[in-house]
Chain A
């Protein structure tokens, strides 16, 4: 398997020959087989694959809510035995609790983890204000639009100050304009805060535009089909924002390559 590009630094997240099988009365299902991946600190990696290829399962393994049936999952070199504060998880939808206010929703993680609630509230207020939700702290989720709700979910994830952020198709429930705008915002926030990010998506464009590296998973049982860095040549050498990246000359080349890699599995 391809090692981390930042060869020297110890990996933030490492999967060693991970297998996962589900058991049901009809038999067992092999969801993931022999997955090895190494993700460096502050790296932004996208994992793409067809639906049902085990992408989301991979995130559940890294977050510790699932245990692998074979191999090892390591965060900061230590095996993952359960959910830790180091890992934040953004799900496909916001899943805000309608009986809580926006601020109460944003501090949910801190509350569950038994953190200092005064500090958590201050941090959540600061995050929500930065995301343009300052006037909505005491509103109810149903009073907010889809994009605003997903920003609250981001604040909820970042309020517990995780080093690693897992994003499971976090924009899939949004309309296409909100989706593009929020992709820019979220990418910028995660880069600025130096988070290690793992994005799972079936949207090739989203993967190329947001991530520095794209991993393609094969169909079930999911295996690493390819693992390639994404580079955009810019005058200042900085990574362009996702929306700008979509207009970069390299974008289409990456898109076609990844498209073909996904297509192969449709037939195979």
Chain B
């Protein structure tokens, strides 16, 4: 469309275009500030140890991470590749939060179905949720063994908060929507399947978001204790032999992993919530 066309067909007014420009500039400023903050952090992390303001033995440098990463990429007889470590942690996290979502939703549904059950279990659930689950890491190791204890910790750390969140979501269902279904003669099962569950999708997604972070915590803490594979193990191993390069590389990968998982859930949320 030419400029002449725009003028005759009453396109966006100059004031509107100016507003759009200001909006765009505002967004750019935020992005630039975010990037600058990250750069500042990396520069300080690089410069302060090199200037011996802090002991480089304790912090490593960002520039040392890439060579360390390349080094760790190799599979040696003593050590698995860092990719194997990362995948092990990611897999355990996915299993952990998936299990927490499935089991948590099922238990929340049972509590919704039998209100008496909820009234009996309520104080125990609240206490279980408030308990520091990491206190159980050594016990889980004894009970479940090296591999299962990691999955167990990942599940334990996210299960109770999931049950409580989803149950609250179920309880928050508009009673008038339930009444509406009842006027058509809906059974309890139909009310659950057609009103309560679909109405709680936003709660389910909120629980999923909380779970991903918690499950990752559970996996890493579990790996500290018992693993011979996984980023938690790598962090533990690196700190024991005082190679902070390894520790910092593993932590950086953990940061990337959690960012990717968060993004994946945001996309999932956008896809599911289009009707909102």
Measuring CB to CB, which residues of chain A are less than 8 angstroms from any residue of chain B? 63, 65, 82-85, 87-89, 91-93, 95, 97-99, 108-109, 111-113, 140, 142, 160
Contacts and interface: CB of A to CB of B under 8 A. Distances in A.
Contacts, number: 52
Given A98-B275, A112-B190, A65 B174 contact: no
Given A65-B179, A91-B176, A93-B176, A98 B185 contact: no
Contact of B185 (A91, A99, A112): A112
A1 to B, nearest CB: 27
Contact of B199 (A85, A92, A97, A112): A97
Given A111-B194, A112-B190, A112-B194, A95 B180 contact: yes
Closest 10 CB pairs of A and B: A83-B185, A89-B183, A109-B184, A112-B184, A112-B186, A65-B182, A99-B198, A95-B180, A95-B176, A140-B275
Given A97-B198, A99-B199, A99-B275, A65 B176 contact: no
A87 B183 CA distance: 8
Main secondary structure of the interface of A (DSSP, over half): loop
A108 B198 contact: no
A93 B175 CA distance: 12
B70 to A, nearest CB: 49
A93 B179 CA distance: 12
B183 A65 contact: yes
Contact of B276 (A93, A98, A111): A98
B125 interface: no
B195 interface: yes
A97 B177 contact: yes
11 contacts: A87-B183, A91-B180, A97-B177, A97-B198, A98-B276, A108-B184, A112-B184, A112-B185, A112-B190, A113-B185, A142-B276
Given A88-B183, A98-B275, 10 more contacts: A83-B182, A84-B185, A91-B179, A97-B195, A97-B199, A108-B184, A109-B184, A112-B186, A113-B185, A142-B276
Contacts of B174: 95
Contacts of B190: 112
A93 B176 CA distance: 9
Contacts of B194: 108, 111-112
B113 to A, nearest CB: 18
B182 A95 contact: no
Contacts of A98: 275-276
A115 to B, nearest CB: 10
Contacts of B148: none
B201 interface: yes
Contacts of A88: 183
A85 B186 CA distance: 11
Nearest to A85: B185
Contact of A82 (B177, B180, B185): B185
Interface in B153-202: 174, 176-177, 179-186, 190, 194-195, 198-199, 201
A184 to B, nearest CB: 25
A159 to B, nearest CB: 10
